[in-house]
Amino acid sequence: MTKDKTTARDAAKTSEPFASDLLRGHTDTIVLAVLRSHDRYGYEIYKVIRDATGGEHEIKEATLYATFRRLEKDGLVEAYWGDETQGGRRKYYRITDAGRAVFRRAVADWTATQRIIDTLLNLKGNPS
Amino acid sequence: MTKDKTTARDAAKTSEPFASDLLRGHTDTIVLAVLRSHDRYGYEIYKVIRDATGGEHEIKEATLYATFRRLEKDGLVEAYWGDETQGGRRKYYRITDAGRAVFRRAVADWTATQRIIDTLLNLKGNPS
DNA sequence: GGCCAGTAGTGTGTCTGATATAGTACCAGA
DNA sequence: TCTGGTACTATATCAGACACACTACTGGCC
């Protein structure tokens, strides 16, 4: 029954830091971006994203691991266990060629999204 | 059982025009933006959005009318029936002061969102 | 007189992504 | 031994967007 999710409206009322849903749909792309240069393990990706924004934005762990599973299922990343024999097992993720293709497409989509929203928000209501 | 929604991944595979979820969370803001200058009725808002993007993006009617109800419930817009006595009744929407406040906040959020995603997508994986 | 496309709004059900919440398990340092 | 950080998993819930289907009026065309 309790509702804790921060919406844009809630944010306006309560000065919440950020409405998380605004990044919705971009999480996959962000993960692929982080994996472009080299393989990383899950928790590392979590930290990279958190730190890259100066702690301003954080993708929740649950969200991230769900994203990994989705990306893996779709063949955009491949997962393998690291050889940390002593404790703290780590699952590494590697971006596939398909993943890189999707990433390129997603960047184009992101650019289009920016253009569309910017256009709509700047609508002054031309006095036709 | 059938699944027709276009995702970013599908788009990459099928050259779909656009992954609709990328605008998710911004619909309310877009509607408020369109209402800033003057009142408009539902179908008109639908067309303004569709046309403002050159038909590139379309917010579905069902989505839009759901948005109106949500905005009205939250007191961000007020609705009233037009006086078209002959046929084609139209419900007009007017943005409230609260709506304007939320809009200003949403624009700030949008700017922050752009910055965050741009930062993350440009991650080159610094060779630390 | 009938048909169709366009306008205008509503209702129901479903899917997806993000989250809350909780849990397991290991390790290092005080 | 206890605590905090690391690392990953599982379940349930929610909101937003959509598909689909529907009502209803108008004007133009045949």
Buried b (16+ CB within 10 A) or exposed e, B50-73: eebbeeebbbeeeebeebbebbbe
Identify any residues that bridge with A81 across adjacent strands, giving them in sequence order.
A91
Candidates A6, A86, A115, A73; CA nearest to B25 is: A6
* Helix, coil or strand: residue A97: helix
Long-range pairs, B48-51, Cβ under 8 A, ≥24: B48/A123, B49/A120
Strands in A91-95's sheet, in edge-to-edge order, are: A40-41, A91-95, A77-81
Helix and strand element counts for chain A (H, E): 5, 3
Tokens (6 digits) for A121: 């928000």
Tokens (6 digits) for B112: 């922050």
Whole-number pLDDT of residue B14:
40
Tokens (6 digits) for B127: 């060779």
- Per-residue pLDDT for B16 more than 60? no
Whole-number pLDDT of residue B86:
59
pLDDT in tens, A49-79: 888 877 777 888 889 999 999 999 999 999 9
Average pLDDT, chain B: 79
Furthest-apart CA atoms within chain B: distance in Å: 71
Residues of B in contact with A26 (CB under 8 A): 22, 117
Domain B17-121 falls under CATH 1.10.10.10:
yes
Query: Which sign does the torsion angle of CA A116, A46, A57, A5 carry?
Result: positive
To 10 degrees, the CA torsion angle through B43, B49, B35, B27? Answer: 100
Residues of A in contact with B47 (CB under 8 A): none
Candidates A50, A38, A33; CA nearest to A93 is: A38
Whole-number pLDDT of residue B124:
61
Identify any residues that bridge with B80 across adjacent strands, giving them in sequence order.
B92
pLDDT in tens, A70-117: 999 999 999 988 876 665 678 899 999 999 999 999 998 888 888 888
Tokens (6 digits) for B123: 């991650």
From the Cβ of B5, is strand C under 7 Å away?
yes
Residues of A in contact with B74 (CB under 8 A): 9
The minimal CB distance from A12 to the residues B22, B34, B105 is found for B105
Domain map (residue ranges) of chain A:
17-121
Q: How far apart are CA A4 and CA A8, in angstroms?
A: 13
Contact indicator for A93, A35 with CB cutoff of 8 Å: yes
Residues 41-100 of B with CB under 8 A from A: 48-49, 52-53, 56-57, 74, 76
- The separation between CA B98 and the C-alpha centre of its own chain, rounded to angstroms, equals 18
* Confidence category of residue B15, pLDDT binned at 50, 70, 90: very low
ipTM: 0.79
